[in-house]
Structure 1
């Protein structure tokens, strides 16, 4: 058996190759699904949301949301869980993914652990969102993402300003209800905070916000790789975009295809892909199964803009939760001040439940503590019982059913009919 040091060195080399593959190359022609099937890729890694849900007996629908600035987002609805035998509860529940993810992240752990499956089985009306820039939200009414740089001129600032409100409005209009419940993982929570600060009245459309490792500022992020990549992109953003690179970590890019190819080999999924995930976040042996790793890296990373990654790099170099920093001159022109404005967390008036892991190297416990102190209506803050619980565990761990679902279910019941 290879030593841990040997595996770690190889993982670091592969990680460098993957990062370079995403930075130095624009897009890569991927293997088609027939070729991947012949190579032994797990079938689940090749399926889209509706196909994956349908395989396990969960009927779903595809819906199209158009934002005020004309981005076209595909979102999904699970109509009924295969183990739901009662009436569907009201109001609907939106699940919103994190950075570099898509709606598929809520299914990748399988029917026994994926939170979308578990909540559908508990008879909730589940709506699963996508944020601009991933492979389900790579469309615009006027811009072609492969031709127009304007498409990629966004970060979490625009996602919170446009995508989250548009998704909430669509779900409420479709269901003819006045309010809904919202579960945000990482970026999915941070963009909700931005919405509340920038779009008065939208917090009132939500009964309950459940934040899983909610990401606002990231001052104390421990992940060395994440910090180096994000701050590096922030430093060299202009140089990267000048060369024509606007999209990064896309599905189908060389880096993602390389990850998918390596991780489809069962013997490599844990020592290589599990170690890669651990190096990026932190180590939690056995929490994410080999099968989930193989499926996960068929859908992850899902793509975003260089600007968005630069925005995360900026958030690691300040102790504030603030808008994108364009530099003093452009800030003055855009914001009317030399410094980027801070988001108003006091505007997040919706009742909130926060769950986090002690071993999370992406959203540090110090940043969670700061966030809790600045939010006005926190019902409960819960550290997940497992001391090794990390960031990726919130969507991919085999233990979600035992460690996340009971608390989520308890609070959703309190705010549901």
Structure 2
């Protein structure tokens, strides 16, 4: 839609996915390749991708649209890097993630039912790429899908166990296409970081444990990201049926911290976490309005 509207569109990739597995010295087969969480995506990857787009086009800034973790990383980057902020003209935050205290689905099950002691966690899920075994996946699927009327193939898919399988906007004929492309791989460390957020109810840097935290951060606890420092214009699109970006977390944690710079706050009825990208109404409810906002920008 954006390309058809005449925009130059650049699609970023999160670390570890199908299109983001190259490294100057490490192979994805090695655990060390996977030693990162969304902290590193926010600190390094966002700027690298955006600088690539700006340097190629010769433009001083761009319009950024992020979904889910793509909003979390941008909120975190904007709150810690004032120089970077000038590169973002407007920030369109879809299914925005701040704290995840009220999250449902797979991450809630993992946080509640499994140890978050780092060594025990890595013994269960691996120290490199996130690889839950069949036993763990059955526990998660039974907990998440037990009371829902959903297709078996959806409950076998990690993406739906994280984001929520129930949707009134899913084009069922496209489900095989969606499942063939998602979910992409991520690191155990990244999932651990999300679980720390679930447990603590805050948005902080990765918690390595007291000893390592003192080495890395100079303090026993990881620093929290201060979203009140963000000054960029933000357009928020959240859903009232979102398992991951739960309405209680959006309204209770995120909005009080960014309301000073929010230009528009749109709460969409009957939207779960995936409807923002695949929902049948997403074009009319989200993408066309964003196109119009950008076109009207002086």
The answer on 1:198 being equivalent to 2:87 is: no
Report the equivalent of 2:16: 133
Residue 120 of structure 1: how far off its partner (Å): 1.4
Structure 1: give runs of 5+ residues left out of the alignment: 1-117, 256-269
Superposition deviation, residue 310 in structure 1? 0.4
Q: Does 1:212 align with 2:91?
A: no
What does 1:106-255 align with in structure 2 at a 5 Å threshold? 118-147=1-30, 149-221=31-103, 223-229=104-110, 235=116, 237-241=118-122, 245-248=127-130
Which has the larger strand fraction? 1
The CA deviation string for residues 102-129 of structure 1, in whole angstroms up to 9 with x for no partner, is xxxxxxxxxxxxxxxx111211111101
Distance in 2 (CA, whole Å) between partners of 1:392 and 1:332 is: 38
Alpha-carbon shift at residue 214 of structure 1 (Å): 1.1
How big is the shift at 1:150?
A: 2.0
Picking from 304, 315, 320, the partner of 2:202 is 320
Structure possessing the higher radius of gyration over alpha carbons: 1
Deviation at 1:377, TM superposition (A): 0.8
Alpha-carbon contact 2:167-2:271 (below 8 Å) kept: no
Matched-pair contact (CA < 8 Å) for 1:234–1:314? no
TM-superposed deviation, 1:237? 4.0
**Residues 299 and 230 (structure 1 numbering): CA distance in 2 closer, same or farther, change over 3 Å?**
farther
TM-score by length of 2: 0.85
CA distance in 2, matches of 1:280, 1:208: 28
The answer on 1:273 being equivalent to 2:153 is yes
Alignment of 1:361-400 (within 5 A): 361-369=243-251, 370-375=253-258, 376-384=260-268, 386=269, 388-400=270-282
State the distance in 2 between where 1:208 and 1:391 align.
Answer: 22
Secondary structure of the corresponding residue to residue 316 of structure 1? helix
Matches within 5 A, 1:92-103: none
Q: Do the aligned partners of 1:234 and 1:313 also contact (CA within 8 Å) in 2?
A: no
Distance 1:342 1:192 in 2: 15
Q: Does 1:403 align with 2:288?
A: no
User: Matched residue of 1:128: which SS?
Assistant: coil
Indicate if the aligned counterparts of 1:234 and 1:309 stay in contact, CA closer than 8 A.
no
- 2:220 equivalent among 335, 338, 349: 338
Shift of 1:396: 1.2
SS of aligned partner of 1:184: strand
Contact preservation (8 Å) 1:249, 1:304: no
How far apart, in 1, do the equivalents of 2:131 and 2:296 lie?
39
Structure 2: distance between partners of 1:178 and 1:234: 46
Q: Give the Cα separation in 2 of the matches to 1:127 and 1:415.
A: 19
RMSD of aligned alpha carbons = 2.5
1:355 aligns with 2:237: yes
